[in-house]
Structure 1
Amino acid sequence: MESYWYPPAAPFRTVIAIGIALLLLQGLVQFVRDVNLVMGRKP
């Protein structure tokens, strides 16, 4: 895609990658908490 104003994409890609990583980490932590709850352990 050609444009007169072509901003650098690296900062946007970095922020998106960090956001995805944090969402995956949050999901993993929630999954571990749910497994502990099902196993009868207190959080």
Structure 2
Amino acid sequence: MSNGLYRPGEFKDNCGFGLMAHMQGHASHGLLQKAIQALAA
């Protein structure tokens, strides 16, 4: 039986992925600024 969904043979190196969303669904310049800061970190 498998201990999880991770299978090392199926994954390759990548640059990563991130997602940020406003929980109330509103457009927000502050959220955009935080996303840019996260990418620059």
Q: What TM bracket, shorter-length normalisation? A: 0.3 to 0.5
TM-score (norm 1): 0.33
Question: Quick one: higher RCO (CA 8 Å, sep 6+), 1 or 2?
Answer: 2
What TM-score comes out, normalization by structure 2 length?
A: 0.34
Q: Which has the larger radius of gyration?
A: 1
Of Structure 1 and Structure 2, which has the larger fraction of its residues in helix?
Answer: 1
